Chain A
Amino acid sequence: MSKAIKLNEKDNVATVFSDVKKDDILEILTETGESWDLNVLIDIPYGHKIALEDINVGQQVTKYGEEIGVASKPIVAGDYVHIHNIESIRGRGDWDDKKKSEITNDMVK
């Protein structure tokens, strides 16, 4: 069975370590040693991320237990998570503070 690694208990994404396909059953390994299965909704390439739970637009995406961006489109558990549905909140020369608070709903500091 294909595997993905969840690095921190707070994470809502995991990293896949093979090319996984739609409808595959993926084993999610965690830092505590427990594991569970997750249905893959769409093809995901090696090394990329899968959502472990639903993430609303503007909600924080968490990996290493830390913020890696916010959802720019609704994400559901089993989705492929990448630049098409999450965006950075740092180094945004194209944003002013108003735009940042609109996008993040002030959910992210």
Chain B
Amino acid sequence: MAKKKYTFHGYVRKDGKVGTRNFVAVIPSVVCVSEVVESIVNNTSGTQGIIHHQGCCQTPPDLERITDCLIKIGENPNVGAVLIVSLGCEGVDTDRLEATIRKTGKPVERINVQELGGTSRSIQVGMDKAQKLIRAISGLQREEVDISRFVMGIKCGASDTTSGIASNPVIGYVADKVVDLGGTVIFGETTEFIGAEHILQRRAKNEHVASEIGRIVTEMENRAKAIGVDMRKGQPTPGNIKGGLSTIEEKSLGAIVKSGTRTIQGVIGYTEAPKGNGLWIKDSPGREIELLSGMAVAGADVILFSTGRGAPQGFPVVPVVKICGNPITYNRMEHDMDLNAGLITTGEKSIAEIGDEAFEMLLRVANGEKSKGEAINYNKSMDFYCLGPVI
């Protein structure tokens, strides 16, 4: 039987990637100029600030990591143009940042706060440049493209026991569907593989990928163990425990369900994007702000986010769709939750029924429909995952 063809309407970029949004990303090279970026973004339309807290006084590998992450945010297909706000004395390599993003063919501007004579003047000049960039890209029209050009990120947060039974299976259902249609899916949260890595390893494309899964889990577990305490309360969190999750193994076994059942093509690092279509693992921690950034860095068009206790987070340039597994939470937090997968726990609907609804919602959001969080601009908090200390 011929497969039904699925398409979405997206912004086709010069580098061939397809976005579901068309933002001007205003990217501070360092935390010191965050407020300049906030002022520019607050006084313009169609802009999103990438308000992170890194960029200076870090070890060289972390500075390179931040530069790479900022480049990849600029390269994300939901970004149509970039304004870089530099302080002038930061550790991030702003020349490489600008030059690499420029290779995508997107318009890029840069301002330097120390050279421009301070924050107030930089806000004015930054607004002028942002205005130019917005006018340059805002007339771009969406085009119909095959779903195989779609990149989906996955996250679960503020989990309880309904996550592993309702909302994660729904996302797993959608992930399988996107992979079967030729698209790309990325999941992460290495901490939440601990106790479930053997199941993921069985789905690895080859032995190398299986050993990579083992390696990232061992490294993450050793980082937690090095502190010399039981990691419980860090993972699972007090909220997870209140929600009925007793151990990291229980949380992990429920968490990996969201990756579906298909073959895992490979493991990518925190600053990397998938090297092909299909299902990929991103080595990343479980906390929302760093994980969602990791998905944006990987080029995600939309992120499906599973929750039980009610996680409200979004991301500046990538729509985040909330699938809630707990019907009580959904009713309490309906304005933050996009879909009620809790109907599975009450026996009113099946995983496949809610899964089909989630897939249809995903396509609508890809076409431009705003998720609930996007509609109320709850999408600003973000940060990058660093390995070394602040020095």
- A interface vs B, CB < 8 Å? 5, 7, 15, 17, 45-49, 61, 63-64, 66-69, 81-83, 86-95
Binary contact readout B334-348 vs A (1 if CB under 8 angstroms, 0 otherwise): 000000000001100
Q: Do A47 and B253 contact each other (CB < 8 Å), given the known contacts A68-B246, A83-B246, A93-B230?
A: no
Residue of B nearest to A15 (CB): B161
Contact B243 A47 (CB under 8 A): yes
A14 to B87, CA, bound (A): 56
Contact B249 A68 (CB under 8 A): yes
Q: Which residue from A45, A89, A94 sits with its C-beta under 8 Å from B229? A: A94
- B interface vs A, CB < 8 Å? 160-162, 164-165, 194-196, 199, 221, 224-232, 235, 241, 243-244, 246-250, 253-254, 308, 326, 328, 345-346
Q: Which residue from B165, B195, B244 sits with its C-beta under 8 Å from A5? A: B165
Contacts of B328 in A (CB 8 A): 46
Residue of B nearest to A92 (CB): B230
Residue of B nearest to A3 (CB): B347
Contact B244 A48 (CB under 8 A): yes
CB distance from A6 to the nearest CB of B (A): 11
Q: Could you tell me the dominant secondary structure of chain A's interface residues? A: loop
Contacts of B194 in A (CB 8 A): 90-91
Contact B246 A81 (CB under 8 A): yes
Contact B253 A17 (CB under 8 A): no
Contacts of B162 in A (CB 8 A): 47
A64 to B198, CA, bound (A): 13
A83 to B196, CA, bound (A): 19
Q: List 17 A-B contacts (CB under 8 A).
A: A5-B165, A15-B165, A17-B346, A46-B328, A68-B195, A69-B249, A82-B241, A82-B244, A86-B246, A87-B230, A88-B248, A90-B247, A91-B224, A91-B231, A93-B228, A93-B229, A93-B230
Contacts of A15 in B (CB 8 A): 161, 165, 244
Contact A47 B326 (CB under 8 A): yes
Contact B230 A68 (CB under 8 A): no
Q: Which residue from A17, A61, A64, A66 sits with its C-beta under 8 Å from B345? A: A17
Residue of B nearest to A17 (CB): B345
Contacts of A87 in B (CB 8 A): 230, 232, 247
Q: Which residue from B199, B225, B227, B248 sits with its C-beta under 8 Å from A66? A: B199
Q: Which residue from B224, B225, B227, B247 sits with its C-beta under 8 Å from A68? A: B247
Contact A67 B244 (CB under 8 A): no
Residue of A nearest to B228 (CB): A93
Contact B253 A64 (CB under 8 A): yes
Contacts of B249 in A (CB 8 A): 66-69, 88-90
A92 to B229, CA, bound (A): 6
Contacts of B231 in A (CB 8 A): 88, 90-93
Contacts of A90 in B (CB 8 A): 194-195, 221, 231, 247-249
Contact B253 A88 (CB under 8 A): no
Q: Which residue from A7, A83, A88 sits with its C-beta under 8 Å from B165? A: A7
A61 to B245, CA, bound (A): 13
Contact B164 A88 (CB under 8 A): no
Q: Do A48 and B161 contact each other (CB < 8 Å), given the known contacts A83-B241, A91-B248?
A: yes
Q: Which residue from A5, A47, A95 sits with its C-beta under 8 Å from B160? A: A47
CB distance from B156 to the nearest CB of A (A): 15
Residue of B nearest to A70 (CB): B247
Identify 15 new A-B residue pairs, CB closer than 8 A, beyond the known A83-B247, A88-B246.
A15-B161, A47-B243, A47-B308, A68-B253, A86-B247, A87-B247, A88-B195, A88-B231, A88-B247, A88-B249, A91-B235, A92-B225, A92-B230, A93-B224, A93-B228
Contacts of A47 in B (CB 8 A): 160-162, 243-244, 308, 326
A17 to B229, CA, bound (A): 32
Closest 7 CB pairs of A and B: A91-B231, A88-B247, A93-B225, A68-B250, A48-B244, A47-B244, A69-B247
Contacts of B227 in A (CB 8 A): 93
